[in-house]
Amino acid sequence: MRRLIFTFIGLVILVAGGALLWVSIGPQPKEERTTGGVLTTQAEIAAQNLQAAPGTGPDLGVISDQGPGSTNSIGAQPEIASDALEDVATLDTAEAEALPQVAAAPDMTTDVILDNQTDVAVAPLNLGEVAPMTTPDGQGGATTPAGFYEQRVVEMEWPRSFRVGGASSIRVTLKVLADGSLQPVAEVAENEVLATPILITDRYDTHNATVTATLSAPDFTVEAVNDETQPMERGQQVEWRWTLEANKGQRSVIALGIRINWQPKPGTVDSPTSANIWGQSLQADVDYVFGGLTVPQASALGTALAVLGFVAQFPLALKVLQMVRDIVFGRSRRTRSRRSSTSRRRR
């Protein structure tokens, strides 16, 4: 009986050690959002609808490599379903209280802080040709030819929470939004944020484009996996990854940004240009694995418990092996005994 109790306790310790190891070094849940150059909360859209003339859509902010603007200033309208606009017009108190936190962030194209409770919907824009950009007389320089905007969006992936002493990654991908391939807003739920695309003037034939992504996380040790600055071609996506490690439990804000640089190709008389085309802040919770245990401590403790629990199972394992031996070899002895008895009777 004492051996059975010891084995049961060992089994509990083994399960606890395995669970601790899984929590400390197992895969972490991820959050993924697709955003544009500017994020607008549902409350801001609702306020615009109350003031807008009947039949007109909201004037949303947009960011392009020519600077900030709005959907009306570039002659484009976001593709937002009419029922979505009706939904935001009836924004209730509970939704208003659940809106994302807002904080001013330098060089950010939006002031909405994303967390794992914030939904994001991207609304493509109906765009025409870009108006020609000419240089005033007497100032020199060449005229940039008219072209079309390339609509792009940013896809972000980050852990639902960080763990003290553990390494986690953040991924940012600058993708092409081709012909509204992302579904427009169908409805506006609580905490939802509307994003419009980032607009890139199509200068690829005459300029070389490079994009630079930056990540600021003062409370983390950061290691970049990719080059900070990468070339970008028409229709090509660019991706960055960072590995972050936290040293203490707290709530932190991580700021990210993307800047585009246009360098004229040989034979093109133009000046280099650059602009911030996207920026975003993420709210991150950094937690201990259990109590005050960091990931390395929890891993070591989980391993020790698992080994201890496994050793405690030896009496049970020996009992099982003995039963298997009795079944296998006992059957053989009984067979031999029956054969011997039959042989004696025949004699």
State pLDDT tens for residues 54-80. 666 678 888 888 888 888 888 787 887
pLDDT confidence bin for 136, thresholds 50/70/90: very low
pTM comes to 0.72
- How many C-alpha atoms does 165 have within 13 Å on its Cβ side? 14
Question: Is the per-residue pLDDT at 253 higher than 50?
Answer: yes
Mean pLDDT of 268-297: 74
Cα(76)–Cα(266) distance, integer angstroms: 34
Cα(234)–Cα(242) distance, integer angstroms: 25
The CATH number corresponding to 36-134+143-287 among 2.40.70.10, 3.90.1010.10, 2.60.40.10, 1.20.1730.10 equals 2.60.40.10
Task: Tell me 198's DSSP state.
Answer: E
Give the pLDDT confidence score for residue 63 in this predicted structure: 86
The SS3 assignment for 241 reads strand
Is the distance from CB of 253 to CB of 281 less than 8 angstroms? Answer: yes
The mean pLDDT of the chain is 74
C-alpha angle 41-45-51 in degrees, rounded to nearest 5: 150
Task: State which amino acid sits at residue 198.
Answer: I
210-247 pLDDT per residue, tens? 999 999 988 888 899 999 999 999 999 999 999 888 87
Question: Is the per-residue pLDDT at 175 higher than 80?
Answer: yes
